[in-house]
Homo-oligomer: A and B are copies of this chain.
Amino acid sequence: MRDGTSTSDGPRVDRRRARTRAALLAAAERLIVDGSAATATIQQITDAADVGFGSFYNHFTSKEELFQAATAHVLEEWARLIDAAVADTDDPATRFALSFRISARLAWTHPALADVLNQFGLDLLDLEDGLAPRATRDLADAMAAGRFTVTHLPLALSTVGGSLLGFLRLRSSHPDLVAVDDVEELTGQLLRMLGLDAAEAERLCALPLPHVDA
């Protein structure tokens, strides 16, 4: 009977554990997107997740650990949304340009998310999820198609990523020094650097941006 009890209880306990964990992550993601992650207490998080205070420590050893997991999830979700928005675009250089413009515009369209990217800083380039793997894919495709003439993929990712993060940081630290139109100026510079001629870079920067369904 003891064996029978544990086999029937096991999955139920597992399901409850998984629900609690998912509720904590969802609450943390809402706090991140609201921009109130830094000041939230564990009590506020468990209240927002509608779970008991004590259950927090069954899943995470600290607030930081929860927010790290939640942040990775938020970034991956955003990368999927952007991917979906440009999925109809066959040309990889165009896909890259549209994705980059949407990402840099996050500083205006979704400032709390831009703050998350800022906090990650250049470590973002080493994440297995999120924007970096998509940018790597688009850069590689555009090189293979002969659209971009640069040949060193990690170097290209590093330059593009460093420029994006420098730009988001500039907007965050000195909001008076950059306007949303500068996104296209930056994108055009990077496209020329990657190997497009000036006219083609300008054309890609003038394309209407697809709707991102957030």
The answer to whether A163 and B169 have CB atoms under 8 Å apart is no
Q: Is A158 an interface residue (CB 8 A)?
A: yes
- Chain B residues near A161: list those with CB within 8 A: 162, 166
Give the distance in Å from the alpha carbon of A185 to the alpha carbon of B178 in the complex.
Answer: 28
The answer to whether A155 and B122 have CB atoms under 8 Å apart is no
Q: Is A121 an interface residue (CB 8 A)?
A: yes
The answer to whether A159 and B166 have CB atoms under 8 Å apart is yes
The answer to whether B193 and A150 have CB atoms under 8 Å apart is no
The answer to whether A165 and B167 have CB atoms under 8 Å apart is no
The answer to whether B152 and A182 have CB atoms under 8 Å apart is yes
What sequence of 0s and 1s flags, for each residue 123-166 of chain A, a beta carbon within 8 Å of any chain B beta carbon?
A: 00110000000000000000000000010101100110111111
- Chain B residues near A163: list those with CB within 8 A: 158-159, 162-163, 166
Q: Is A93 an interface residue (CB 8 A)?
A: no
Other A-B pairs beyond A125-B166, A158-B166, 10, CB < 8 Å: A122-B169, A125-B170, A150-B189, A154-B178, A155-B167, A159-B162, A159-B166, A162-B163, A162-B169, A163-B163
9 nearest CB pairs, A to B: A162-B166, A162-B162, A158-B166, A193-B193, A159-B163, A154-B177, A158-B170, A162-B163, A189-B193
